[in-house]
Structure 1
Amino acid sequence: MTFSYRTELTTPNRWHGANARASITIHHFGERNNYANDDSAAASVASYLCNPDAGVSAHFVASHNTVYCLAACSDRTWATGTRAGNNSTISIECNPHCDPTTLESVAMLIAVLWHWYPHLKGRGLVPHSAWVPTNCPGLYRKRLEWLRDRALALFPIVDPDHPGQTLKTGAPPVGKYPKDPATASTAALAPDGYWGTETTKVLQTIAGTPRDGLISSQNERWEGINTGLTSGWRWEEYPAGSQLIAHLQHRWNTDTDGLIGPETIRAMQRYYNTPVDGVLDADSPAIAAMQKEANRLSRK
């Protein structure tokens, strides 16, 4: 129950940033007789989607035990055939044979995406045919409910910092990107109101703190309450604090203990002139305002 998460390819066929990430769309490669029913199909399709002449792309390509990430989820790939779809969905291309191994890998990937974007958890998956008249996603059309249910079952045990793996420690996080954001995309942060690895790396660059995409040693008491805090947060029973959070606390004019919590969040919300309630919910106005500020500071 693992897959190889490949990150060496980045598609040029995308628009930078501004993906609303409101859904996950399932595609298939095409007719089954055109594609091998094994891992090799992922490499050939991923290479094709990285060809500028192809004019199409996707965020992920899955076949058997191999998944390629070709674009940051914040970018808009050319996958659905509509501007509305490309602007709002995360696209997964799947081996058309719809074999059990590919199904398991896709379900595991979906569970990881739900960790990165909690507002998507449990939502129905979208077939490509919902955007335009097409036979895509072929055999997957009848397996969408199964994929959702299997992703729900896998959700507690997948490791969102190591796609394709179950929970364990000791390895550096992969994060959401096919490469480091500085090379993968010139995109600014999408002000989506979710604070994950992508946002943290930009903030760390601005602050001059170590750029690892992690918010270290935070009080586990606040983890479940603040659903706008997604990947890269390290929650502990006895927290020591984060250098980046201390830097931000200084900016927000509050105690610099390096710990996120209700008082720090209220100071953040006051600083950005957003509703003050001491909680960072999904699609948080305060996080979105911080992301917009980070984009301005990054351009200086």
Structure 2
Amino acid sequence: MSYKFVKNIGRNHSSRSSYGYGSGIVGITIHHWGSDGQKHANVVSWLRGYTGNRGSSAHYVVSDGLVTQIVEDSRASWHGGNNKANGTTIGIECRPEMSAGDWATLVELCVNLERKHGSMKYYGHKDWKNTACPGDYYPRLSELVDAVNEYKKSGKVPSTTGGGSSSGGSGKREYETVDYGITLGLWDKGDPVKDWQDFLVSQGYDIGDGGVDGYFGADTEKPTKAFQEKHGLVPDGLAGDKTIDKAEELGLKWTRKPKKSANPKANQITVDGKWGRATTRRLQEELGTPVDGEVSFQPIAYKTQNPGLLSGWEWTSNPRSSNVIEALQGKLGVTKDGRIGPQTIGALQRKLGTIPDGYVSNPSVMVRKLQDNLNAGKLW
């Protein structure tokens, strides 16, 4: 291996067996850290500081020519968003820039891990949780598998890899009526799960006493595996692209959207210029994203600059992406990074015809206008 390897082991990590999935490692989950331009050492420092009862958010940090291990492979780590990911996969945190050197180092590390633990399955963070992570790496996961296999044969990273996104797709699945953009698996909830359960029932599978309840529990995972086995697919219990492609051939329909009240007045939000959970829920309904009233993984640097962003906003020093903000950015035609900021706020202010200063005051004229529009069933 040509990369420089450093151990910087954290503390207080759980055994894999304590997560209820045995002690085996079956896969690798790829992540990318918060934003371009962050130094490798800073990310390592932050991840070690994050260690505690749940452990670090990754086992390895990777950049061009450098690999730092933070958690021993044998230990579970809270990196994937649910216990199955944490208990059975190794998390690798990568630079979002994804230079040719970053890619080559990632390939080499994965080869090394496969030589140590055997053949792996490859996942992106978004396969386990509703998030934009791992960004440009996600549509290249199949290419990563091919590159790892080629490296094993030739001893070098294929020259066709590296630098920028491939033509492998956006990493999102366009459904017939709504873009859910996720792989369905254990602990997922909501309308896409109901559609998947409807399909399983139509195929004669038993989904348990709960029926079509929109919760992807063990009673849904079991028939999902049975469906996969019947059709020659990997029985991992996840409704991902290949499984869904086969299901759509057999009649799977994506028919549900968030429902609005038949009585408009019953679903009104208070027009007060303060952006809290109620405003977020209505925006999520309008944009067709999961409806929970939460805006997750937002940069803590923007909190004090925007006092009008109140309940339901999660501020963190390790920002990722929020589905509702990413969908809003798509409507506004600005960079879709899933994070609120002056560019997104300014674009929304211009769209709503208010002063584009890039900040959300308390109360905010822009938020009042947005709330008025949402009550009228529109964005602008």
Larger Rg belongs to: 2
Using structure 1 for the length normalisation, give the TM-score.
0.46
Using structure 2 for the length normalisation, give the TM-score.
0.37
